[in-house]
Homo-oligomer: A and B are copies of this chain.
Amino acid sequence: MKINRATDYGVRLMVYLAACEGRVVPRAEIASAMEIPPEFLAKIAQHLAKAGLLEIRQGRAGGYRLKRPSQEITLLEVVEALEGEIALNLCVGHPESCRFSPTCKVHLVWEAATEGLRDLLGNIYLANLIEKKAKSDEEVG
């Protein structure tokens, strides 16, 4: 019951991009800053791109960039882009996988827990997750 490494990396990637505000960031920079194996990062980025969460620029000054504003991308989207829809047990979302699920009270618990988790992650936006750079009027004023 853990997210996998790819998801962890993917979240780091997205948060890093959010902090870069629209700049096209080369993969090597992210890999080094976030301590992610660069080749693995490439794969993760490709998934996130297919899910419409980031934009890939190929060619000489290529790299990655968020596709949408960081205020509009939730952690849930990032996680589910990489792991598929969250389901804490097989029977969640696939009741047919378990003969007992129609009458099973545990099934209901897994569903409730899954929903709770999805709700929580669905209310957190990348913008909430970046360390705010000190801005003059915030910092001094």
Contact = CB atoms under 8 A, between A and B. Distances in A.
Interface residues of A, number: 36
A120 B129 contact: no
B88 A3 contact: yes
- Copies of this chain, tallied across the complex: 2
Contact of A117 (B106, B113, B130): B113
Closest A-B pairs by Cβ, 8 of them = A105-B129, A1-B3, A113-B120, A3-B89, A106-B129, A11-B106, A109-B124, A1-B86
Interface of A: 1-4, 7-8, 11-12, 15, 35, 75, 79, 83, 86-90, 99-100, 103, 105-106, 109-110, 112-113, 116-117, 120-121, 124, 128-131
